[in-house]
């Protein structure tokens, strides 16, 4: 409690703690994405039909949204370290059940709990802001989020490579081992944070609707990111199909292509530092423009040439930069709204834009089946443009003006 009080009073978070929180976020959130490239071997091994196989990813996502709405808000009323440790233990158990599940029903149930437990990543991010002083909050969020984004981007190719060597079960077993070690480390390294509960759990959950209604900055930032993350999810749903159909890439080649997106994670810490100087609004608009242009270029140039493939590589990087940068900008704004509701605000923000990502994935599959790459890329242009049109209605905050004047 004393350490938390010191952090709230303005102690600076150490580089070691920042690295630990970033690495933890990446390792935890990766569990949401491992199965995306493993649907083929898993549904064959468990006897799932092609239609039912989609539930492998969908149930994990549903579990994550459930956790965002019903577990992350609890961080506003109970001790955070204990909540994270219990959730991680649930995740480890679910991973082991998934690895050794004898039938599809047990595996799908485990997938749901993997999603629920993985929301620890979204407890760690606001937790990091409690350890940071006000002037370094944007940098801390940026660095921690870059770890989370690297986990998202490395998960797919890493799962593919491990599966090609040891089989898909090894992915879940290895993740369970890593998370067990991480749980032990976090239980020893993290200081306690005991928020003072002001409401019951029932009132806490009911307050989510009130917070959403009464916090225009939350609604705006969540919708911005929902549009951009929708475009991001659409791209990564459809681009493997284009690479296979139009460029004849193997599954291993597609996994290597997925590594390209890792370069986009560099935008997160940069955006955080610039946000600390008061440039949030300008950078938000820039992120939307970059996302729209990333799709526009690959919509215009749709040949099967080497140049078109190079443009796909470039667009993957710039799109990931736009999405990761805007995510940090949005979270910094939300974490400045009030410490007593930070867990609930983050849970709402993440669940809304995660739903946007799910919609983007669905649009990607539907559009590619209906109109091929042409229609998918066009929808990819439209999503960030919609965010940009909404962005033009935003007024610059006085905080940003002050920081520019002082910076």
Kindly list the distances between the CA atom of residue 405 and the CA atoms of 134, 275, 283, 400, in Å, as whole numbers in the listed order.
17, 14, 17, 9
Could you tell me which residues come within 8 angstroms of residue 60 by beta carbon, excluding any fewer than 6 positions away?
Answer: 31, 32, 35, 111, 112, 114, 115
Mean pLDDT in the chain? 84
Could you tell me which residues come within 8 angstroms of residue 387 by beta carbon, excluding any fewer than 6 positions away?
Answer: 223, 224, 227, 228, 288, 291
Task: Quickly list DSSP for 30-43.
Answer: GGGTGGGGTHHHHH
pLDDT band at 202 (very low <50, low <70, confident <90, very high): confident
Average pLDDT on 6-11 reads 44
Please state, for a pLDDT cut of 90, what percent of the chain lies above it: 37
Could you tell me which residues come within 8 angstroms of residue 38 by beta carbon, excluding any fewer than 6 positions away?
Answer: 56, 159, 160, 163, 168, 171
**How big is the chain, counted in residues?**
407
Q: Please tell me whether residue 199 adopts helix, strand or coil conformation.
A: coil
The pLDDT value given to residue 53: 64
The pTM is what? 0.76
The pLDDT value given to residue 242: 86
Q: In the predicted model, is pLDDT for residue 188 greater than 80?
A: yes
Identify the burial level of 331 via C-beta atoms within 10 angstroms of its C-beta, where 0-12 means exposed, 13-18 middle and 19 or more buried: buried
Give the pLDDT confidence of 211-224 residue by residue, as tens digits. Answer: 899 899 999 999 99
Give the pLDDT confidence of 339-390 residue by residue, as tens digits. Answer: 667 778 888 898 888 888 878 877 887 888 888 899 999 999 999 999 999 9
Q: In the predicted model, is pLDDT for residue 399 greater than 70?
A: no
The pLDDT value given to residue 8: 41
For the four alpha carbons of 195, 354, 181 and 89, in that order, the dihedral sign comes to: positive
């Amino acid at each position: 409690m004393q350490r938390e009080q010191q952090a709230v009073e303005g102690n600076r978070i150490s580089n070691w703690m920042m690295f630990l929180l970033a690495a933890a976020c990446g390792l935890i959130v990766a569990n949401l994405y491992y199965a995306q490239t493993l649907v083929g071997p898993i549904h064959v091994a468990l006897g799932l039909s092609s239609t039912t196989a989609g539930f492998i990813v969908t149930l994990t996502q549903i579990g994550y949204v459930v956790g965002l709405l019903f577990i992350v808000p609890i961080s506003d009323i109970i001790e955070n370290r204990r909540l994270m440790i219990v959730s991680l233990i649930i995740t480890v158990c679910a991973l082991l059940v998934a690895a050794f599940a004898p039938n599809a029903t047990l595996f799908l149930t485990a997938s749901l709990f993997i999603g629920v437990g993985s929301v620890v990543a979204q407890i760690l991010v606001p937790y990091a802001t409690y350890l940071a002083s006000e002037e370094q909050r944007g940098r801390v969020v940026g660095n921690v989020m870059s770890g989370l984004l690297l986990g998202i981007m490395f998960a797919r190719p890493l799962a593919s490579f491990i599966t090609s060597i040891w089989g898909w079960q090894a992915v879940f077993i290895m993740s369970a081992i890593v998370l067990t070690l991480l749980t032990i480390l976090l239980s020893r390294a993290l200081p306690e944070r005991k928020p003072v509960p002001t409401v019951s759990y029932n009132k806490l959950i009911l307050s989510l609707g009130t917070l959403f209604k009464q916090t225009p900055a939350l609604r705006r930032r969540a919708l911005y990111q929902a549009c951009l993350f929708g475009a991001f999810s659409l791209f990564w749903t459809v681009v493997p199909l284009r690479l296979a159909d139009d460029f004849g890439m193997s599954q291993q080649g597609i996994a290597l292509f997925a590594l390209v997106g890792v370069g986009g994670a560099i935008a997160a810490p940069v955006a955080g530092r610039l946000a600390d100087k008061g440039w949030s609004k300008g950078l938000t608009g820039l992120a939307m423009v970059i996302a729209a242009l990333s799709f526009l270029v690959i919509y215009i140039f749709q040949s099967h040439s080497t140049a078109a493939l190079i443009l796909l590589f470039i667009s993957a990087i710039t799109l990931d930069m736009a999405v990761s940068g805007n995510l940090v900008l949005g979270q910094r704004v939300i974490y400045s709204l009030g410490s007593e509701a930070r867990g609930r605000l983050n849970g709402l923000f993440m669940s809304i834009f995660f739903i946007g990502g799910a919609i983007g994935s669905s649009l990607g599959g539907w559009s590619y089946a209906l109109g091929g790459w042409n229609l998918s890329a066009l929808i990819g242009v439209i999503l960030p443009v919609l965010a940009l049109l909404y962005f033009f209605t935003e007024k610059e905050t006085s905080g940003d003006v002050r920081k520019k004047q002082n910076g």
